[in-house]
Amino acid sequence: MWSPISLPAILELGQDFIEFLKGGGELPLGPRDLFEKARGNYESIKSKVERGSASWGSLSKVAAKKMSDAIQMLKEASAQGHAHAQLFLGFIFGK
């Protein structure tokens, strides 16, 4: 059941958020930004593979980390309901 939050509680949350931002805190990426960043990682590796300067079977440690990060971001975006991220994961794992 939904329970309303009192005005002082809302103001306190707002103040905490302002302090978080003042302290240099960053908001987590939303599903669209996660997808775009992941797609960029994937596309940069894919272009190296297509040019012959890398191979899917033997990626460098940097490229493997980039690909691992891309998959993690796609999973996060997918869990938040981003349909393109879900499709992209299917594409990657379908190969």
Q: Say if residue 10's pLDDT is above 60.
A: no
Indicate the average pLDDT of the chain: 86
For residues 65-84, average pLDDT: 96
Distance of CA 19 to the CA centre of its chain: 25
pTM above 0.75, yes or no: no
Per-residue pLDDT, 89: 94
